[in-house]
Structure 1
């Protein structure tokens, strides 16, 4: 019995010591936690935010993201509706930058860069990379047109109009969490103001196509123009000019490549003739020059 009492006292002492240290650590912590409104269910672009889709959780005050809400009345004052402008996962903090204003709607303009413009371009199943261009992707914009050169001739050419442009919507879908290919009729691109003018003009003079780009790739400092003269495997790209094409295809050689052309050798000089004359027992030799052409 005495041993049991000693063991019990030791257990109580250790438990009190542990709890005391935890309490002291909490009391001496420079920062505690605060309430933060998070999404209780996944929220897609344009989803109305209602109290049943929001819950409050404890969040470390030292790592609090900017633009959070500490209560549901602060998030939805006077039951005003807000909508999600960015997809949010469950338990993700609801930030001011990801939702509309009070009584707002799912407007693309709310998520645009202040220096950019949103321009819609026509698409087809081919021009839209078979439906694999989705919101959030990065693309190059190509334009195919038929200009006239000073000689009065015309031929189709393709230029790189814009590089590394962000797609913000396909048709009316602006959710960048979409992962299934979908063929759309229009693509809304985020571009600078002068690039918006280029897109508007290019749609009138030619046909636009999109090329998917790896977001980590770098834009090419120089772009080339491809014409119908370049439609051969291994042909030089960029031979088109406003005048006649600069590129001239080399003749096809069948066989080993010829070496450098050597100048013709001059004709060898004609050697002199030697005539032997025998007189009796004596002979004599005489050199006689050869007439040219004989």
Structure 2
């Protein structure tokens, strides 16, 4: 009896083990098929490692290895000016740091346009492109767009002044007090002594600094010394080219000059009168001056 019981027990254990083995094989096969299907559905995106901000970075903050980290980024969507290696971001070692030129949020890509060169301090010189110069323009509440100007904005510059006497006229045939658009699409790089593009509060500035070519600097200096300059803020997405604009008092009020009608010269007739008794004789003679 004991032998029969032992055989039955061994048979039961064998059947149970076989059932567990079959179930495990079925589950493993199902999981392999599911993983293969997911792999086929997933897009094959090639990535590269680039440096991103590890935390929120403020304007002027120095970048060190704790402030940045490497992360995978799609290669086809790679922006221009990224840093892919530590040697690119810190070419002179971590002791010579770059600084942030604008606010950056966590996980935002570190780009060359957002940071200074290694060891360079934050200032307007870092925002001047090759061939450009910084020029300061005096402004007030009215000429400075009521304090809504920010570094990085684009502006148009208008000149208002008198062209003087001696029948002088401008290219637009204006006379007297004239307002004219003299420069368009000028980049603003500082408001007073602040070059932070992330400044949020309105500032009634006394001066603004623009980036301009040497010829433009000369024109702006001459205009500022001979009249009043006013600034006009250009929209961030505005890519139109401003036409030549010139307005004087006559154009503003719609006054047109009266046409001068030249009269034909009247021929001059010279005569001599001779009296013969009661009769007067009129005789034509050549006119002399």
Which TM-score band applies after superposition, normalised by the shorter structure?
Answer: 0.5 to 0.7
Equivalent residue for 2:230, pick from 199, 204, 209 = 209
- Give deviations 1:40-88, integer Å, cap 9, x for gaps: 2333432222233212222234443343333446523242111123443
Aligned equivalents of 1:122, 1:44: Cα separation in 2: 29
What secondary structure, in the 3-state scheme, does the structure 2 residue paired with 1:110 have? helix
1:166 matches 2:184: no
- Asked if the contact 2:155–2:187 (Cα under 8 Å) also holds between the matched residues in 1, the reply is yes
CA distance in 1, matches of 2:122, 2:110: 15
Instruction: Report the equivalent of 2:214.
Output: 193
SS in 1 for 2:211: strand
Superposition RMSD in Å: 3.3
Q: Name which of structure 1's ranges 213-222 and 160-169 shifts more when overlaid on structure 2.
A: 213-222
Aligned residue among 198, 216, 219 for 1:177: 198
- Aligned-pair distance for 1:111? 2.8
Task: State the alpha-carbon separation in 2 of the partners of residues 54 and 249 from structure 1.
Answer: 72
Q: Secondary structure of 2:246's match?
A: coil
Aligned mates of 2:19, 2:73 — CA distance in 1: 46
SS of the equivalent of 1:106 reads: coil
CA distance in 2, matches of 1:207, 1:167: 18
Who is 1:51 aligned against?
Answer: 65
* 2:287 counterpart residue number: none
Contact 1:54 1:72 in 2 (8 A): no
| Alignment partner, residue 226 of structure 1 | 248
Unpaired runs of 5+ in structure 1? Answer: 237-246, 251-294
Question: What per-residue deviation string (whole Å, max 9, x for no partner) do you get for residues 205-253 of structure 1?
Answer: 11111112234152333221323x4554xx25xxxxxxxxxx3389xxx
Mind listing any 5+ residue stretches in structure 2 that lack a counterpart?
1-15, 169-174, 260-289
Cα distance in 1 between the residues matched to 2:213 and 2:110: 29
How far has the Cα of 1:177 moved from its partner? 3.2
Separation in structure 2 between the aligned mates of residue 218 and residue 66 of structure 1, nearest angstrom: 26
Query: What is the Cα deviation at residue 5 of structure 1?
Result: 6.2
1 CA distance for matches of 2:213 and 2:76?
Answer: 38
Q: Structure 2 length as normaliser, TM-score?
A: 0.68
Greater than 6 Å deviation, 4+ residue runs: 1-5, 21-26
Mean alpha-carbon deviation: is it higher for 184-193 or for 154-163?
154-163
What SS does structure 2 have at the residue aligned with 1:203? helix
Q: Out of 18, 28, 31, which is 1:15 matched to?
A: 31
Cα distance change, pair 70–145 in 1 and its aligned pair in 2 (3 A): same
Secondary structure at the aligned position of 1:67 is classed as: coil
- Tell me the number of residue pairs that the alignment of Structure 1 and Structure 2 aligns: 234
| Contact in 2 for aligned 1:144/1:156 (Cα 8 Å) | yes
